[in-house]
């Protein structure tokens, strides 16, 4: 008699005996226990057990696969009630292991979720602060496309976080934070002269010479402070009126060439007053930029290779009002509201000295912003 036939006969006899004796023979293991493990296995897949508890999950899978193979081979396995249910015990152990692995994976996933959420929020906050400072400082050219790229990184990090892809969101938010730090360094390097005592002292001396000229000549003179965005009218060496001004999109930078959007610094004079019909900006004062100092700096930069090819020194720098369309933007010039330039128009004449400086105090608006930004980026 073959082994298979013997086994079948034995099972039939045992089944008949169980029915006759009413002894309650049962299958091993109970189906509900197997269903429990299968449910835990499914939950582990959903929560990412392989990612968050790789060793524990691999061990569970190995045991569960082997055990399922045995169960499939002995799907008709029965036992007497008084016999130890070793298979059920083993399934129960696997279920406990799966439950512990699931708990661990969930805990680690939640830890990563919290960490990622904090990091993404921090990246978004720091980026917002950087953007505001760039606008306040009029220095978009310093960061250029980097700012746009960082915005994209933060947006992607938020999207991945919402999708539950925390590891990728964390990675992108960290890259964004590094980019914010690098841009902060660039800003500090480009605008650090506003906190340089030697440079600020040189600006103060320029302004002082202009004010002294006004006093001795008993005439008008203008001093423009880029950091504070103010134009002050002096008469006979005394301040008589201060006007708020706007600069170009890179107005705080040192002007180097045509089209850089920077406002020049130096000692100039009004070449010409332009009134209605002679300017698109309501009223305007054309300055004698570039002067000899500007040309000397430009030639040195060109000879040293620091000047981009094809870039001229520029010109046509004005103090002007708003254009005919009421737009509030300028390209390297100094802009006043129309009512204010109308008032100033009556106070000055061709030949009036105009001194433009970066700042008149080391503790100025730009240096404070840079300090706050650097401190914020270092936290």
Please say whether the beta carbons of 333 and 322 come within 8 A: no
Q: Kindly list the distances between the CA atom of residue 88 and the CA atoms of 41, 74, 107, 268, 288, in Å, as whole numbers in the listed order.
A: 17, 13, 29, 95, 96
Q: 359: which 2 tokens? A: 């700042």
Whole-angstrom Cα Rg for the chain: 39
Please say whether the beta carbons of 18 and 24 come within 8 A: yes
Active-site positions?
320, 333
Alpha helices per DSSP H over 192-328: 197-217, 292-303
Spatial separation of the C-alpha atoms in residues 127 and 176, rounded to whole Å: 8
Beta bridge partners of 266: 356
Q: 99: which 2 tokens? A: 């439950």
Beta bridge partners of 286: 272, 318
Spatial separation of the C-alpha atoms in residues 152 and 353, rounded to whole Å: 47
Spatial separation of the C-alpha atoms in residues 341 and 364, rounded to whole Å: 25
Quickly count: other Cβ atoms within 10 Å of residue 87's Cβ: 19
SS3 275: coil
């Amino acid at each position: 008699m073959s082994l298979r036939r013997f086994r079948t006969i034995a099972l039939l006899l045992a089944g008949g005996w169980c029915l006759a004796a009413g002894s309650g023979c049962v299958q091993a293991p109970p189906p509900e226990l197997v269903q429990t493990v299968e449910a835990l296995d499914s939950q582990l897949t959903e929560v990412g057990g392989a990612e968050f508890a790789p060793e524990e999950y691999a061990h569970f899978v190995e045991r569960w696969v082997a055990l399922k193979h045995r169960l499939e081979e002995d799907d008709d396995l029965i036992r007497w009630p008084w016999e130890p249910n070793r298979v059920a015990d083993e399934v129960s152990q696997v279920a406990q292991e799966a439950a512990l692995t699931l708990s661990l994976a969930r805990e680690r996933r939640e830890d990563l979720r919290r960490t990622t959420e904090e990091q993404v929020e921090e990246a978004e906050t720091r980026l917002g602060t950087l953007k505001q400072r760039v606008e306040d400082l009029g220095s978009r050219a310093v960061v250029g496309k980097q700012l746009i790229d960082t915005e994209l990184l933060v947006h992607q990090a938020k999207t991945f976080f919402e999708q539950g892809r925390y590891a990728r969101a964390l990675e992108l938010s960290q890259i964004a934070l590094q980019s914010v730090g690098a841009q902060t360094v660039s800003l500090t390097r480009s605008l650090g002269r506003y906190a340089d005592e030697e440079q600020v002292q040189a600006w103060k001396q320029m302004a002082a010479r202009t004010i002294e000229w006004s006093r001795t000549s008993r005439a008008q003179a203008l001093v423009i402070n880029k950091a504070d965005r103010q134009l002050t009218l002096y008469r006979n060496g005394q301040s008589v009126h201060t006007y708020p001004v706007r600069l170009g999109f890179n107005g705080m930078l040192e002007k180097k060439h045509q089209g850089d959007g920077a406002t020049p610094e130096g000692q100039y004079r009004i070449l010409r007053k332009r009134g209605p019909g002679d300017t698109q900006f309501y009223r305007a004062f054309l300055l004698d930029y570039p002067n000899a100092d500007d040309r000397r700096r430009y030639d040195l930069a060109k000879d040293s290779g620091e000047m981009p090819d094809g870039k001229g020194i520029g010109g046509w720098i004005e103090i002007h009002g708003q254009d005919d369309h009421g737009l509030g933007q300028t390209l390297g010039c100094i802009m006043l509201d129309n009512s204010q330039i109308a008032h100033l128009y009556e106070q000055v004449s061709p030949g009036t000295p105009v001194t433009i400086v970066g700042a008149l105090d080391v503790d100025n608006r730009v240096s404070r912003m840079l300090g706050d930004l650097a401190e914020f980026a270092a936290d």
